[in-house]
Amino acid sequence: MKREFQRTIKKEVQLEGIGLHTAERVRLKFKPSLPNTGINFVRTDLAEKPIIKADVRNLIEHSRRCTSVGISLSTSEGQRSVEVYTIEHLMAALFGLGINNLIIEIDGPEVPGMDGSALRFFEVLKEAGIEEQKEVERSFQPNEPLCVQSNDATLVILPADEFKISYTLDYPSLPPQHLILRFPADKEERREVFEKELAGARTFCLEAEVERLRNEGLGKGADPENTLIVDNTGSVDNLRFPDEFVRHKILDLVGDLYLLGCALGGYLIAIKSGHWANIHLLKRINKEKERKEEAGIQAVSGQYSSKTTLDSREIQEILPHRYPFLLVDKVLELEEGKRIVAVKNVTLNDYFFTGHFPGRPVMPGVLIIEALAQSAGVLMLSRRENRGKIAYFIGIDKARFRQRVVPGDQLRLEIEVVKLRTSTGQVYGKALVEGKTVAEANLMFALADR
């Protein structure tokens, strides 16, 4: 697959509309975000302003005919679930524009339906301007067929370098429709295909289902302007495409699969699939992706010792830390046994902001020290003679905090060795934001075998 760079938007934009299921008016604010942060919803209507990442691991399955993500939130009254639903059309627009990193502030539980398609989301985000970032977009393609089946629905992905979808729709009240679309790896070419072929395809509902859905409390905001109602003869007057139904199904499918968090390669064959099949195939793909990534890390283990820069995967080969406690995103400079310069991108998605001054988020000072300690750990454990050992943090001296660190800041973590022996180490570390020192300390470590 062709390697593309990550993208966000250039400026903040907003829109508002009515939820298809709740009929409640909701306002969305779209804000630029840093590389490798992903798509994050912020529920601004709640006191805690929880952050919900649009990610396969946060999927919630329920009876609503839509795609939802959510998290469990700790409150003074105990645990409760917080979610954002009907996200698939917005996620499809992000796929079409190739946007990887975005903050979406939403003042309700449901993304507005707009006209029932992805068109308005696409237009507003396109008007905001697309900014290419320096980090390369991650990608994945399965190396074996993966399949999901349920009743008469089938969804299969076959290994392929390009991303292509073949969809067959066949409902009793509709004439059969079939469409094959290819989505180029080049993001500008993909945008053109999405805008022309999919963006305006609207959601639809069979007339026979309307009353049942209303009785279940669904579709309260649906009307002829945002939902195509298909009678028992298959007649619809205001189609934008002769085959608008199958196009909307593909739109839903690419929106659901964008929760994988990376570019996907493969040939997808879909027969009457909906959100249930889409989500279950997405989970199968993600499981294969995680298995492949784990195998890849093991395969290259030990190749970092001669490097002077390290990415997040190489850092994880050295440090025994993982999300959400890995606080070093990248190593910019590494001089073995002498010094290291690393960075931590502080984002609103960082887990500690949920409970640490949530109304006015500030990075805890102890975690700035921990980020310095992790950088020092990389420096010591990258030495050939220390390979396989663990660096335990055993002391802090002369720690000082000079300035607040907030979302959007990039911490530059600089470590200089003071003493380094066989089983112990002492370093001086300082953290900077835009050239100004925000924290500093002397740190002591003990080195031990695993």
Angle at which helix 88-97 crosses helix 119-128, to 10 degrees, equals: 40
DSSP code, position 173: T
Q: Which long-range contacts (CB under 8 A, 24 or more apart) does 347-350 make?
A: 347/33, 347/34, 347/37, 347/407, 347/408, 348/33, 348/40, 348/42, 348/51, 348/103, 348/407, 348/408, 349/33, 349/37, 349/38, 349/40, 349/51, 349/53, 350/324, 350/407
Positive or negative, the CA dihedral 406, 407, 408, 409 is positive
Q: Which of 21, 275, 280, 321 is catalytic?
A: 275
Catalytic annotation present for 321:
no
DSSP string, 36-69: T--EEEEETTSTT--EEE-SGGGEE--SSSS-EE
Distance CA 67, CA 276 (A): 9
Element spanning 122, H or E: helix 119-128
Nearest-5° Cα angle at 58, 212 to 294: 135
**How far apart are the C-alpha atoms of 425 and 100, rounded to whole Å?**
40
Are the C-beta atoms of 257 and 282 separated by less than 8 Å? yes
DSSP state at residue 202:
P
> Is residue 221 classed exposed, middle or buried when 0-12, 13-18 and 19+ CB atoms within 10 A define those classes?
buried
How much is the CA Rg of the chain, to the nearest whole Å? Answer: 24
178 classed as catalytic: no
74 forms beta bridges with: 79
Strand partners, 150: 153
Cis ω before 184 (30° cut-off from 0): no
Q: For residue 282, which phi and psi values (nearest 5 degrees)?
A: -55, -45
Q: Please give the helix or strand (H or E) that residue 438 lies within, else none.
A: strand 436-449
Contact 61, 279 (CB under 8 A): yes
Question: Are the CB atoms for 156 and 242 separated by under 8 Å?
Answer: no
Question: Residue 158: helix, strand or coil by DSSP?
Answer: strand
Q: Where would I find the H helices in 301-427? A: 312-318, 365-381
- What positions carry a catalytic annotation? 275, 356
